[in-house]
Structure 1
């Protein structure tokens, strides 16, 4: 039986492990931290439960497909609730509430711009077609050749790879609040709307068409489900086991070194940060130079606060976006002139609004996220300064005092992403999905220098986000399976 060692235990690594074990390989995972999950870990403190990383459950069909591939259903492992409303956006002088179906969303659009409901239905109709092509054709290809993007469907939409989301949205809608609402989902792809191909409007269908869901108990329930599935399939998982070297001889991978021991394998897959993974190789075996990584466009990093409140909060939903400052200026301060934002947009997540298990009775679990440029200076003073900014704005927009109700707060920022995940420049979401960083133009799943060495995760194909990470694990397992049949 051929053996595969996988570095890291995030979504893409667990996905690859499950597929490879099912295909008959002996699989072992080595994880540097004390729990599995990579960036999707959990903080449990004083009865409060926080998802440290991803907190949005979009594209439920991708999760369904993953578990179905093993004869399972998501409901075998966790319970899903569809959120209504999906989320709320706070602007300076108004709020936009995104309901759980297109009729409610169209009604809200009409309130702000007459005639926009019909435009929205057409826009989401096209976005749905793009979603079907993207999910069923394009993202299931391993990024080995430019020809993978050429299908009869994409040829008919080739202009959508050269127009941007921003152009497409602004052509149809004039109200700035609606424009921001429609441009927001591509931030999950890690790039500015005016730098993201309009084909990626499929994210708007993921948002409005498929809805926003919550796994009861939090996103970590998915990690627990995948870990259980992996172990059912025979995968061995080692935690507290950082990998210090990928062992290579004569341009072929032999295994890894962890805790001063060598572990041999026929194949190695790294789901750790791609740049970090290559530093585990001798320089001659690396595919990409430091200059290559330096020139890439990264998705943002984040300043995060995890807060336990001793009361139920008012005027909030499960997911809340605070767009009460200049969206474009904040985007410029992330991508064009990297600096700490002058007036940051932020996101606030209160899972205990819909899930009583996430906080003690009559209390609230709060998670606040400020997107920032990767690689910024990160100090306790800066974190505290931005905490005050966020809390002041939050109190003002939701018309309540909350600072006195804080039981505890913990923060997580650039230094933590580097220290805990070996994340290049402390990025939170990997490599941005710009046109020049799409599909075959992303770092390869398969090493071009070392035989039987592979990579998976958000810096490679298909890109950032939880559903793409599940797909990335499948793609790399398919490549290995094909490779070993030769």
Structure 2
């Protein structure tokens, strides 16, 4: 039977869910508080520069293909993908670089150059990661997190030990070269936790990195949002921007309506892809599932200090994606997760889409996206932002052997306060709730409210977790639960 369904938010999970629900014949209205769609994956266009405001790594292309295939479409119906070579480069102390190529053979050669029997060790490591990837994608992540039994299959039983060891232990056990170890530990940061707190099973991210490669949607990552928006429109989804949700109204333990910009709108089902914690504050306290102390005890993925920079020249010695690992990896991780504070010497990341995608900057110019991972909930002031801008730009100029500061003609920052203001993000986190052992699958906040009938959730604070591919999967999972409701 067709239902009227409200979807709150317009990030990947909300848009995906809206598409699935509309395809199933429901009347779907999607509400976005900001003036543009995409949530954290919004786009900033200014002075001829195009910036992706959030996600910039296109990994796990098979998940995107599977999403569009559910609607008899392909990604290529909407956007063009370029495989990056190198996928990214890592810059170490003294400006030494390691490039991660676009094939396993190229990466094996790099590992052999850096460590005795490096290729042989990596082949064994990646073979296990590939098996875990197959199990994760085929058996686990498309489960709704309702029961612990979802984790028990013939394949996962053989992997049980990998849920009780960690990525850090596994890497340290096999490899000796510090640079290679950092490269292998890096991908799990997308899951929002330290490698020492991430179950070994999640080394499937290494296969996503090395085995499946790093891609770029031509025009920028927001092209993927634009594609899903086009799909949603074609399915009849009504999209509303500048639509702030002020209250979720509950009668007889059932979600009945939304207060949108002061107006009451009734629906049969309400689904929120907005921040989970924030969504529950839209309910009366008696209707909330999780207390403030519950959220406060959870391990959250980092927030970020971001800079969007326009340069009036082409830059040297940089690739599309660049990881600056010239400082102590562990010390920075401590400052995010263990004793939350601004890091003394932060690792940082920079991307320049205009290197391979000239349309994202004026001719002869470069666009730059710089990111420093930081603890959520810490102090955010303009003075702190400027202090850290100076820190990373000094290192950037030294490590890439060029002067760039005087060539900056556009600059915008985004940090904890902005994540709270623009996305109602709990403590200004950027990536959601970390995938630690005690925050995996059925141990995450639920897709379906346990207290309020016809109220559902999706996104990075629920199942399956942080990242764009998991967000698409989350949208599918919640749509299936709504169908069964």
Q: Tell me, yes or no, whether TM beats 0.5.
A: yes
Aligned partner (choices 426, 429, 451) of residue 427 of structure 1: 429
Shift of 1:114: 1.4
d(CA) in 1 for partners of 2:404 and 2:122? Answer: 37
- Deviation of the 1:260 alpha carbon: 1.1
Match of 1:330 among 329, 332, 335: 332
Q: How does 1:442-481 map to 2 (within 5 A)?
A: 442-481=444-483
Distance (whole Å) between structure 1 residues aligned to residue 356 and residue 196 of structure 2: 34
What do the CA deviations read for 1:128-178 (whole angstroms, capped 9, x no partner)?
A: 110011011100100011111111111000000000000111111000000
In structure 2, what is the equivalent of residue 250 of structure 1? 252
> Deviation at 1:26?
0.7
* Cα distance between partner residues in 2 of 1:51 and 1:463: 21
Q: Which residue of the other structure, out of 473, 482, 485, is the alignment partner of 2:484? A: 482
- Structure 1 equivalent of residue 4 of structure 2: 3
CA distance, structure 2, for counterparts of residue 136 and residue 283 of structure 1: 38
Structure 2 match to 1:297:
299
Please state if 1:208 is matched with 2:216. no
Counterpart in 1 of 2:142?
Answer: 140
* CA distance, structure 2, for counterparts of residue 131 and residue 244 of structure 1: 40
Q: 1:24 maps to what in 2? A: 25
TM-superposed deviation, 1:2: 0.9
Which residue number in structure 2 is paired with residue 217 of structure 1? 219
1:95: Cα distance to partner? 1.2
Partner of 1:67: 68
Distance 1:408 1:471 in 2: 36
Match of 2:400 in 1: 398
| Corresponding residue SS for 1:39 | helix
Summarize deviations over 1:430-480 as a string: whole Å, max 9, x none: 000000000000000000000010000000000000000000000000000
Instruction: Give the distance between the partners of 2:441 and 2:264, measured in 1 at CA.
Output: 34
1:262 Cα deviation from its structure 2 partner: 1.0
5 Å-filtered alignment, 1:188-203, equals: 188-203=190-205
Unpaired segments ≥5 residues, structure 1: none
Q: 1:318 aligns with which of 292, 317, 320?
A: 320
Partner of 1:33: 34
Query: Where in structure 2 are the equivalents of 1:56-455 lying within 5 Å?
Result: 56-93=57-94, 94-455=96-457
Return the offset for 1:323.
Answer: 0.3
Please state whether the residue corresponding to 1:44 is helix, strand or coil. strand
4+ runs deviating over 2 angstroms: none
Deviation at 1:80, TM superposition (A): 0.3
Rounded Cα–Cα distance in structure 2 between residues aligned with 1:408 and 1:138: 44
Distance 2:163 2:322 in 1: 30
